[in-house]
Structure 1
Amino acid sequence: MWGSALAGASAALLALTAGGGSASADPVSLTQKYTCKFPIINNDPIEAAITTDMPATMKVGETVPEYDIKAVTKVSARAAQGLGVLGAVTLEGKATADVVVTQPGGDGNLPIKVVNTVAKANIPNPAAPFEVTATGKSPGGLLTWGKAGEAAFDVKGLKLHNMIARDADGKPVQLPPNGDEFTADCTLDAGQKTLLHKMTITGGGGQDPTDPPTDPPTDPPTDPPTDPPTDPPTDPSDPGDPTDPTDPAGSGGIPASDGGTTTGGSGSSGSDVNTQLTSGSGGLAATGTSGIGLMLAAAGGLGAAGIAAFHYLPQRIRRGGQAAS
């Protein structure tokens, strides 16, 4: 049981030191030379060896975890001498690395800052070169790979800040003109490599956002919308086409049974009535309209004959009486 527990603890420790719990991570490293501007001694060289564990491959859709970073920096004997003459016996602080992530598939570059804590280191006396160790974690859980391709991690710069030199009593040593803390800006020496790691991003683990969807959109309905009525409603204000001989409204008369046209009385009342019947909402059938117009015209003719008889017969009767007498 104790053996199993120890094995499990060892596996967990290895997964943690592999960076973000990735069991497939591989050791990567980069050594760079910088020139930093220190108090009192001004420009002085340092050499930083960066190590971490990162996977060789990841998949589209996966989020980059945080990685444990370690940087061991070599400081010159000259720097140790300059700090020692002021009574400093230890050195500690912060170191921030400028890292540029080249995203795959042409998604551009992402500049990030990785802050590391410089552990307290003893300054040798007599003066000699010494090392300071910085540890930290890269930002994790932020960047998700969106495309397949190759990603790159380049270290482009370094800055030492919040650096504190302490005396034997643990009190900060004043380093003019900085006070208790100082900052050392560092410049990467010419010709130095910057590539820390390359990573291949594969298209697995979900669909590549650059690929077209596998299921095309649903086809539009095959049946087009219902066509509008081919015969628009008759406009009541349209008197009709006067050139059309079959149009009762335009001819001013009524179609006769033999195909000719019979005029309706002395005015246009027959035509007006016929037009009103054929207009409006929906209208009437042509044959029904012609029949109604014919009946109306006949009624008008009978009325006219009755009126004539009303005036003519009395006169005829009187003339007949006078002749008889």
Structure 2
Amino acid sequence: MTSTNVRRSPRRLPFAMTAAALMAASGAATAEPVSLTLEYTCPFPLIGDQPILAEISADIPAEAQVGQPLGPFQIEALTTVNEDSRTGLKLVGSETIEGVATSTNIIRTVTGDTNITVPLTIPQSPIPDETGAFTVPASGEAAAQTFTADQVGEGSILVGGLVLDMTARTADGSVAPAPIGEFVADCTQVAGQDNVLQTFQIVGEQTTDPVIGLEPAETVDFGEVQSGLTGEQTVTISNTGGADLGINNVTLGGTNSGAFMQTNDCTTVAPGASCSVNLTYYAEGDGEQSATLTVASTDPESPSVELQLTGTSYTMATPNIATSPEEVSFGAVQVGTTAEQTVTVSNTGAAALNIAAININGATSEFMQTNDCATVAPDASCAVTVTYTPASADAGAAELVIESDDPDTASLTVPLSGEGDDGSSGTVDFLLDLEGSTYINASDSTLPLNGTIDAVLELATGMYTADLNIEPTQGSFQVLKFFRKLKATANVEFEPVEQTTGTLNNGTLTAESKLIVKVPKVTINLFGFKLPIGGGDQCQTMDPVTISMQSPEGETFKPAEGGNLTGTYALPPLENCGGLTDILNLFLAGDGNEINLSLTPNL
């Protein structure tokens, strides 16, 4: 029997939907109109599971003749889409809906079930502005089917699952914004319904000969099996004919027949019955092994049938240790302060890596380590935190030594180095953590800020340069004039365009930073789903933001202890943020913004 295979697009999803697709079966007999109405539940973007009602109709004969192609047949479907789905489509300005509905159905005969798929085309259909449900048409063609003599008897066509591959478009014909613009919905038929579209009779002469069948029909693949272990599979021999099938012999041959073994309970198989052949694969060494299973029987047309057997053997998996970085340099660190770096221990092997010990050899009084390493799974990692506290203005060196059960590298060494700075060089390095927030005046909202500042201070002048790193953050604001007062959430990133500069005089710290502010994603929360409304890789301020800060009046800043910084700034307009850039600027750009930071030593 032939069937039609339909590929599903991985990027599309449904919205207004059409319904099931059906199969047909009949031939020379007179076709008769049939119809069926079914309920489905479809997972739609933003609004979740929604009900749809599909009315399916076709002309399908009630009788099929053995050996004669039946069909193809035209299928028509009219689908009712509910109000929630209409509202979801309209939210992003959708005006039309189109796509393909693919139904997986069953033709049931006396020999068993056959799955078939039928694609139904949904033409571009308007989405009404008026409140309420609306209907969407669809049509398609069910492929021709041919029945064999062993299927003589009653057959039926059952309507099964439904996959909707949909595209929504705006008034200018462009695809609507994601996730509504293109989506795929795998719909579930509501249980308990009568899903039989048509019953029919297959007529013709019943064969009086035995007919052999194998399941699987062509290949048995044992996949990958570790050397020294075994894999198990079963082959079913069936008789779909009208007389007893005698199994004369079951043998193994081919290139690696010794790697496989078979046992079976097959002697005589009655019509409609079956027996089993149990196969065992004995994996050895590395590489693929293959063999051929041959079944000799009394089927007059196929007295000998073959089945290909394959398996891949691999030797025992081992762990493999790696570190990042492979060496650690702390650079210049102020005497009496502590700097910290992380060494990541990874397992790039195929078996678990067991860490036996982690130690520091060398200047152990200045270098210390802590870790969370014990057993590291394949493709996983653990962390070793290394600290350096110089006691003098001399260079320091040590080794981080990691002992494990890696068969090739039982002991791995990571060199450690650093240099103490007592101020005699004329500069002092200090690394500070920053924590605080920035207030966005345009939307009356606050974004949390975290990061670090790594500075070099000239003792003679009090001037410093620093590398400022502000981690990506996120903030929310109310969109008061759009989308029914929905809350919007913006992801915000900061990219310095030059080093931060400033002075430290008499305990007062000043700082000036220039950064590009990026907004890669802005979403609104609707029905528990996050709908993108702007942002992107190129969404950023037109010009760098200049932020000037200084110590609050009456407070003293010390490099070894930290302190606070406050300031105000203007946020330039955003660009390249999509169709809603102007709306985003109403809530993000402008002056009167404030920043407050607390700086503490990075220990």
Q: TM-score, normalised by structure 2?
A: 0.29
Higher strand proportion: 2
| Match 1:129 to one of 121, 128, 133 | 133
Residues 136-156 of structure 1: CA distance to partner in whole angstroms, max 9, x if unpaired? 11111x433323211110011
Aligned to 1:60: 66
Give the superposition deviation at 1:22: 5.7
For the Cα contact (< 8 Å) 1:120–1:132, is it kept in 2?
A: no
Give the match's secondary structure for 2:173: coil
Higher helix proportion: 1
For the Cα contact (< 8 Å) 1:159–1:185, is it kept in 2?
A: yes
Q: Give the Cα separation in 1 of the matches to 2:118 and 2:70.
A: 14
Q: Residues 38, 168 of structure 1: CA spacing in aligned structure 2 closer, same or farther, 3 A cutoff?
A: same
The residue correspondences of 1:61-140 to structure 2 (distance < 5 A) are 61-103=67-109, 106-140=110-144
Aligned to 1:196: 197
Q: Give the Cα separation in 2 of the matches to 1:19 and 1:66.
A: 9
Q: Give the Cα separation in 2 of the matches to 1:199 and 1:20.
A: 8
| Match 2:169 to one of 152, 166, 182 | 166
Count residues with an aligned counterpart: 186
Aligned to 2:154: 150
Matched, 1:208 2:214: no
Q: Give the Cα separation in 1 of the matches to 2:156 and 2:62.
A: 11
For the Cα contact (< 8 Å) 1:19–1:25, is it kept in 2?
A: no
Give the match's secondary structure for 1:78: helix
Matched, 1:27 2:33: yes
Give the match's secondary structure for 1:33: strand
Residues 78-109 of structure 1: CA distance to partner in whole angstroms, max 9, x if unpaired? 11111112100100001011110012xx3211
Give the superposition deviation at 1:19: 9.2
Q: Give 5+ residue unaligned stretches, structure 2.
A: 1-23, 211-603
Structure number with greater CO (CA < 8 Å, separation at least 6) is 1
Q: Identity of aligned pairs, percent?
A: 40
Q: Give the Cα separation in 2 of the matches to 1:20 and 1:166.
A: 40
Greater radius of gyration (CA): 1
For the Cα contact (< 8 Å) 1:19–1:54, is it kept in 2?
A: yes
Give the match's secondary structure for 2:33: strand
Q: Residues 19, 152 of structure 1: CA spacing in aligned structure 2 closer, same or farther, 3 A cutoff?
A: closer
Q: Give the Cα separation in 2 of the matches to 1:19 and 1:196.
A: 11
Give the superposition deviation at 1:23: 7.0
Q: Give the Cα separation in 1 of the matches to 2:190 and 2:132.
A: 23
Residues 240-274 of structure 1: CA distance to partner in whole angstroms, max 9, x if unpaired? xxxxxxxxxxxxxxxxxxxxxxxxxxxxxxxxxxx
Q: Which runs of 4+ in 1 moved over 3 A?
A: 18-23
Q: TM-score, normalised by structure 1?
A: 0.54
Aligned to 2:182: 181
Give the superposition deviation at 1:210: 4.2
Give the superposition deviation at 1:64: 2.3
For the Cα contact (< 8 Å) 2:27–2:64, is it kept in 1?
A: no
Aligned to 1:42: 48
Mean Cα displacement is larger for which, 27-36 or 58-67? 58-67
The residue correspondences of 1:291-310 to structure 2 (distance < 5 A) are none
For the Cα contact (< 8 Å) 2:105–2:157, is it kept in 1?
A: yes
Q: Residues 107, 20 of structure 1: CA spacing in aligned structure 2 closer, same or farther, 3 A cutoff?
A: closer
Give the superposition deviation at 1:202: 1.9
